[in-house]
Structure 1
């Protein structure tokens, strides 16, 4: 199985090598690594590692905790996106079938953002209703309050982590792309930015854009 590991570590030469070495000793095979932020001598990094199915993660946690200055932010299961450049591949899929653009985006986003599921929501007078959900979700999911509708991340009262971004479909309908995960850290601002970029690319392929707030007021 694939795990996502988020750690905070000293931003100095050798720190990254120590983490990678400990992961290897514990039995994890690093398949991907990303730097989320660097600030005040500290870095926040994400590692995607192949881990034996059914194996506990105690030795993984103990190994990382043994490195001075390393803090484990979260470890949670994920899926590996298809292809070497999954974002570019997704844009190609959107261009091939633009009418299915938002649905294609929803189905692809969970693997890209290490999430459990994603969905398209419509906001009406009675609140938000899920119009489409990827595998792992469901149209009967009780949605949290989605206002304000802008690219952002938040934690629901039940502890579920969400990221969202507004999106306009090919018919001009204003929807919300919602991404959710449990047992994981909040979505980082770089993940929210990536989500917003994917939405912008999808809208460009669909030839739509958000209504001008000045004209609509």
Structure 2
């Protein structure tokens, strides 16, 4: 089973090794570590791990919470296999067929963002939706710029694509953490590039 764990830990020598050792002791194989922030003496890292056998996010959280100084901010299942370069694959598809750029982007965003689904909304209607996305969606007050918000049972990332008149919504289940500003910045940059490529085909 692939899991992602968001961990806040002391930003000092040996801190990362302590978490890695704890994960190894529990039988988890670390596939990737992404540093999201380092400030105020703490670091926030995302670990992608392969965990043998069935384990629930709650069980993984309980097992790691015993590590001194470590705070588990979220544990959730993921389909994002490290090393697959999904962002490059996305851009290759968009360059090959820019007229479908936004639809291709919506399909790719869940894998890129460790989320369950995404969709594009315009004028109150869903224009395109990824697998597992709802057929309709009541968009909160559309923000003028990218924003991360928590809604009922969902963590949302809202990404306006103003030149195309749509808002993109990316949803993560509530058992995962809210979208970090580093995730929001990455997604915003990808959306901006795809929107520009798609506009050239209009």
Return the TM-score normalized by structure 2: 0.90
Judge which range, 143-152 or 158-167, deviates more: 143-152
- 1:150 to 2:142 alignment: no
Distance 1:25 1:36, change over 3 A: same
Matched, 1:73 2:73: yes
The 1:134/1:81 distance shift into structure 2, 3 A limit, reads: farther
Distance (Å, rounded) in 2 between the aligned partners of 1:195 and 1:55: 29
Work out the CA distance in 2 between the residues paired with 1:115 and 1:105: 13
Aligned to 1:161: 155
Please give the secondary structure, in 2, of the residue aligned with 1:19: helix
Unaligned runs of 5+ in 2: none
Q: How does 1:24-103 map to 2 (within 5 A)?
A: 24-56=24-56, 60-81=60-81, 84-103=84-103
SS in 2 for 1:187: coil
Q: How does 1:180-191 map to 2 (within 5 A)?
A: 180-182=171-173, 183-191=175-183
Q: CA separation in 2, counterparts of 1:198 and 1:37?
A: 20
- Cα distance in 1 for partners of 2:199, 2:154 equals 33
**Alpha carbons 1:23, 1:60 under 8 Å: kept:** no
- Structure 1 residue 11 corresponds to structure 2 residue 11: yes
Secondary structure at the residue paired with 1:55?
coil
Matched with 1:215 is none
In the alignment, which of 187, 197, 201 is matched to residue 195 of structure 1? 187
The separation in 2 between residues aligned to 1:164 and 1:147, in whole angstroms, is 8
Matched, 1:137 2:129: no
When the two chains are superposed, the root-mean-square deviation of aligned CA atoms in Å is 1.9
TM-score (normalised: structure 1)? 0.84
